[in-house]
Amino acid sequence: MKTLSVVLLFILSLVTLFAAARADALSQPSIQPRMARPVPLAEGEGDKKDDKKDDEEDEEEYRGLSQRASLELVDPRGLEDLLRLRVAAHRAF
């Protein structure tokens, strides 16, 4: 019985190892033939001063946002996901 438990644990650890390796391999970015190639953005010397002013204005604008509005900017479906998680948590307990 002890040997069977050790063999089962070993097999489960191998399955976990291969699943992690596969997930890691699938998460690596690759360029597919049909995808457009990335193009670097051109930076000009005059744009840096204007960008700094724009960044300050954007920062002031974002400070006035509520948590829900900022979540919608970052992840449009994030609020729905958050509500689903809350409902699932209430059902679990």
Q: What is the pLDDT of residue 30?
A: 67
Over its C-alpha atoms, the chain yields an Rg (Å, rounded) of: 24
16-37 confidence digits (pLDDT tens): 999 998 888 877 776 666 666 6
Q: What is the pLDDT of residue 80?
A: 84
- 83: in domain: yes
Q: What is the pLDDT of residue 59?
A: 74
Q: What is the pLDDT of residue 4?
A: 92
Among 16-25, 36-45, 74-83, the range with the most confident prediction by mean pLDDT is 16-25
Which tokens is 61 given? 């604008």
The residue range of the domain holding 85 is 65-93
Residue 57: C-alpha distances to residues 25, 50, 51 (Å)? 41, 11, 10
- 70: in domain: yes
Which carries the bigger pLDDT value, residue 24 or residue 11? Answer: 11
- 47: in domain: no
Task: Report residue 88 CA to chain centroid gap.
Answer: 21
Residue of 93, 65, 67 lying closest to 78 (CA atoms): 67
The CA distance from 11 to 26, in Å, is: 23
Domain count, the chain: 1
- 51: in domain: no
Q: What is the pLDDT of residue 26?
A: 79
- 88: in domain: yes
Q: Please answer whether residues 71 and 82 qualify as being in contact, where contact means their C-beta atoms are separated by less than 8 angstroms.
A: yes
